[in-house]
């Protein structure tokens, strides 16, 4: 597929499908866990599992950054959203002003 607009549309559909599929899997997992463990325990298991995956992703994604690298994080992860990177820089500057390094 060489037409950029058609490629973008196809990728958009695939991404939408992937998100919907993930939501369906979460729903099915929660239904099964609820049936086995009850609603409260099922929710706790889902929360722990999703948070663990978030920690795994974050560890890999942010491994190259230090505690004062907020602008670099914004520039790497939001290159197509200049306002987001600008917000990160502003927040970083505010933190540096509020909490000066020693």
pLDDT tens per residue across all 102 residues of the chain: 678 888 888 988 998 899 899 999 999 999 999 999 999 999 999 999 999 998 998 888 888 888 888 778 777 776 655 566 566 666 666 655 544 444
- What's the number of CA atoms in the CB half-sphere (13 Å) around residue 43? 2
Residue that is written with structure tokens 């009850």 in the block = 38
CA distance 28 to 24: 6
Q: What is the pTM of this model?
A: 0.59
- For 84, residues 6+ apart whose C-beta sits below 8 A from its C-beta are 74, 78
Is residue 101 helix, strand or coil?
coil
- Residue 21 to residue 19: CA distance in whole angstroms: 5
């Amino acid at each position: 597929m060489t037409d950029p607009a058609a490629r973008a549309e196809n990728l958009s559909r695939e991404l939408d499908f992937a998100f919907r599929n993930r939501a369906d899997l979460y729903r099915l997992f929660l239904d099964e866990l609820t049936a086995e463990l009850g609603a409260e325990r099922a929710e706790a298991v889902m929360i722990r599992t999703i948070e663990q995956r978030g920690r795994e992703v974050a560890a890999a994604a942010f491994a190259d950054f230090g505690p004062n690298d907020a602008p670099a994080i914004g520039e790497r992860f939001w290159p197509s959203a200049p306002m987001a990177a600008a917000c990160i820089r502003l927040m970083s500057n505010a933190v540096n002003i509020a909490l000066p390094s020693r």
